[in-house]
Structure 1
Amino acid sequence: MVTLLGSGFVTSLAIFAFTLVGALPLGIPIALMRMSRVVPVRLVARAYISIMRGTPLMLQMFAVYFAPYHLFGIQLSPDSKWQACLVAFILNYAGYFAEIYRSGIQSIPQGQYEAAEVLGYSRTQTFMRIILPQVAKRIMPALGNEVITLVKDTSLAFSIGVAEMFSTAKALVAAQRTMIPFGIAAAIYWAFNFLVEVAVGRIEKKMDYYRD
């Protein structure tokens, strides 16, 4: 039982890791588009964020997996479920991260940009050396909450047949007629989220020297 759940957790962990690697950087250009002065660009980003946050992640996975066949007649293989799962997770969480980035960037007083310009900093230097460190500190609590939510959301991958930990626990419960697999899975989710909380807390402490 534990071995099977451990194998499922490895899959959940892979979904978690690949989503962070893809969604964290993708959220940056989306956030910048959302703040663009070019109206069409801003509207596209706003629509994207609205769709990603306003529709269920499970439905988005169905769309990514089944859309190629219904729209273009492309039949995906069973192995494509994994890729479809990752694409849906990355696109979904990029929308959430983009809004977190935007809120952090817009929370910086305009006076800091003006002071940096007076001191001769370029726009890139201003953003990288002055704005970004402060933004990183301000968004860390919200970012941490989303990362914790992501850990739990990996259980939704079962909806398109990806054998992560929850689906493994569900199969074990059906086969053995005991709730113990669910209890073990819950403990593993909690333990991993606890480690995430500790890691985020340490990162926040290291950023304490960026005082407002």
Structure 2
Amino acid sequence: MTEFAEWVAPIATMIAAIMTASNLGARVTGWGFVVFTMGSIAWTLVGMSSGQTNLMAANCFLTVVNLIGARRWLGRQQAYEEGGRSAQRASRHSSAPSLFPANAILGMSIEDCHGKRIGKAVEAMLECRTGTVRHVVIASAADMGWDEHLRAVAASAIVFGGDKARLRISASEFAQIVPLDGDDWSEIGYLR
């Protein structure tokens, strides 16, 4: 049993870390916490069998934390996301304007006016008084390497769809927008 736990513990922990870090929605994140729970139980068994009280105690605590995470992401958060998706589906068959959940903007694929993928939305800034989206911050890959450029585009220059958004401009026009300065977004010169 101990040898089995010694294998399950690291494998479950690695798989769960990938599942939760990938940010693929409430269901995947929730099941990631379930896998984390299996890993922390296995680590607890390893700690018990090897006399490592610190390993056992830490993973008993992590088991409780992981169960709370699983409950949150597979319970409430999943219900919230499903509620947003059901409103989106219902709006397609209504005479009212189409809806989509605001949290769907983050990570949304962004295309230019010709359908060429530019990057993904990483933030949406809303106006306090009206609650409308003022602009969307879009991350696009730099020419080389792991870096990315962040540019702000006014919501009026974006057509939002269910799972992606299309800019009303070309990729070359998008590239001419001055990138945001690191984490200081106080000076935003975005395309209107």
Same structural fold, with TM-score higher than 0.5 when normalized by the shorter chain: no
Query: Normalized against structure 2, the TM-score is what?
Result: 0.27
Q: Which has the higher strand share?
A: 2
Query: Normalized against structure 1, the TM-score is what?
Result: 0.25
Larger radius of gyration: 2
